[in-house]
Structure 1
Amino acid sequence: MNLACRRFHQTQLCQSSLCLSWADSISDPVIIMHSPVGCGGMNMFKREYFFDGPDKLRYVRTINTNLSETDVISGGEDKLREAILYAEEKFHPENIFVMMTCVPTLTGDDADAVIDSAKNEVKANIMPVYCAGFKSKIPASAYDALYHGIIKTYFKEKEPKNKLTKKNKRVNLFSPSSASEADKNELRRLLEMLGLKVKILPYYTRAEELQEMTNAVLNVSICATHDEYLFSYLKEIYGIPYIIKNVPVGIKNTSSWLMEVAKYFHKEEEARKIIEEETDKLKRALAPYQKILSGKTAFIHGGEPRSLATADTLEMLGVEVLGIEARHHDRFSNELLEKRKNNEKMTYSVAIGQPFEKANLLERMKPDIYIGHNGQCVQPAKQGIPVQPLFYSPNNYMGFTGVFERARGLARMTRNTQFYKNLRENLRLPYQESWYKKEPFSYIKSGETI
């Protein structure tokens, strides 16, 4: 039964934040938050952003239309038009992103009409992003909203410029925001070993590069959560096939991912040789870390494909996974979940936010290791559990080298856990002791489904 309703909710990730993670990274942007001033506060933690490498720092420029109660009644379209013209006059940007948040979506502001009327006065590309958080309980649908905006803005032609043949050998590698530069370099390395030309999109690219994505012979996903909407469009309109094969984290998943790409170009033998050589080197390098980690226990939180793939990696290292908290579930993870369906020792939950449930679970399980999104690591650390990010922009977690970096980091972290013990002794979470004695999912309404 797919239980989704709770009598008590605590936090919810908004689509807007995920949309901002992409818009912030595109070349020369101005971001217009068409919203009350509070929604614009999400940009504060992205006050500055790196583009094209760590030595090129630039500030993210944002404008907020500051919708008021009066605007809710009379509409905010005039304010949006004023903001677009101001962005052009003040900054002369290459790209303007209009974030359509909850309030203008509810009141029915016609962003497309405003953008069309302003285009003759603005040189920048103007892209609408419909990211109202109330429209979905699954924040990952933000990626569909982003790609819908890309389609409307950048795809003008209906035919690719280059003929799509396997001799072309250019592949588009679609990277999520959760892939570091080191991750991208590792996956590029593996694909180039097959003799392929690799273009990494859409993060940290320029507008003209987005328009050129129709010139590839194959689209390859790193994370199925992100890419299905755009891939389906590119296949239907431009005839470009695609591969969505989970996330290349861990030996098994990286090997499967690489083999799927190789099959398209009839390079299976080359891929098998690469996988064999990489695996042999990796297993020798992992041996000392497996001795340190064997017998440890872990809890994982994050996007479903990456969390399940990370669980595979930990188990290969000898770590027992006591629980996984995924942010959503979809069909792309069915294969990874299948082998776990009879594991009665492991707890598997799907929840956006709800840290009160996780605090309860962690207090019961007391794992040796917690792996999760950066923003989700503070609470477990206060409970005395050593934490490691599920991903972190300077580090490598994908591909074969990513397995080594994961193991090395965990071994180093578990050697000395005194810091986390001190946190537990001196800090406490805002929950009563009585909550930890309750069943962790007691606030889910039994029998109610999506």
Structure 2
Amino acid sequence: MRALARFCICLPAIAVLAWALPALYDTALLKPLDKTHIFYSPVLKQCIYTEQIRGYDAQAAEKSEGHHADIVYKDEKGRYYDRLAFEAALPFIYFRNMEMRGLLPLNLEGRILDRPAIERARRVLELPSRHLDGKRPPQNTLPLLEANPGQAALLYPTDRFRLTAQGMDFIHADTNAPETNLARIFTSALAEQGFLFPARHVGGNFTTFKPYESGIFLVDAQGRLFHLLRRDGRPQIRKPPLPEGLVPRHVLVSESRERLWLGLLLDSQDRLWLIRQDDLALIGLNVPDYRPDSMDCKLIFDPLYVTVVTSDASRVRATVFDLPPADTPHGEIHEPFHSFSHSMSRAAESWQSNLSATLFPFRLIFGSEDSALLLPHIAFSRHWSRNALPFCLVLAALYAFSLHRSSFSRARLLAETTLVLAAGIHALLALALLREKE
């Protein structure tokens, strides 16, 4: 019984150490680095990026003139830039600085582009992997904003809606009392248009910090897309046309003053589609090697191009398209004219990361970059067989040698040595801590 109790205490101790030791190590020795920021330069006609690096880069330090020497500005051909040259290569991003330096308007692609034209066309749509359904906590109640609030600013309604297997329910935001009349009106309107409950997905921009309210998108039980707008308290429903075989998976809505593109649709085949504002038509963007379950996606709009930036934990890729015209036919898929892939500095190996891969055969992690859920899981050392396993063998041998003259039974010695072999330094420390209590 004593041995069993010791074993039962040892396992939770190993779990705690498998979380705490790597976390403390990372805090002390491994500086976290953000993802690389990559853009398409309309001046250079190539991609240019900035990233934070570990260690020392002589050319980056020279360009920085002693200020933020760990920040690198480079283009896809490997040329280094200082900060001012980097900004000059991206006038659509740093247009305010360009204006202050007297470099506006721009003459690009036969167009004269001043600050208002750039501001009107510039926008960013972001679809992080952690925002997909099933990778974040569900939002049970949401506001359905009024599109005609009777004033300049949008207002949150006094009610919230939730979708059930039977219909669309409304509750009062303060009292949680059911709003049965609203529920009946909106559920009946959706049913009349052929909507089948329960809904698979709800997509909308549920905030008042936007220029106008465009409504929400609903995907019904059969995978059909519906658009719902609340105007003057009544539902207005449209069924956007879908290309043949397209099944929506996620809809991102982002209203802009330009009122050309309403948002982005991700389908079940991991394809991206722009949603046109006026008729809700879908315009496809052929983005190669995009895996939304493990990649973040960002669309950067400017007056000339759309740059789709996809990234996982180690690589970032920019895929550049000409900006689709407003009259692009529904269902048309656009092909990129340029792309560039880069291995981010955060993925580069260093002595700190190699030492971590040696010391810790595994670590207990809560959550990940591509999920907003707190899901504990075990991540094994990326160099388990090359680094961690030999280190565990050494620890197990040393542990067995240190106890070979002890009064421990052969079974206990074998069990504890096996535990050290399997869990490495986590088990060694756990056993040492427990032995101090004896």
Structure of higher CA gyration radius: 2
| Structure whose residues are more often helix by fraction | 1
In terms of fraction of residues, the more strand-rich structure is 2
Task: Name which structure has the greater RCO, CA cutoff 8 Å, separation 6+.
Answer: 1
Q: Which range, TM-score by smaller chain?
A: under 0.3
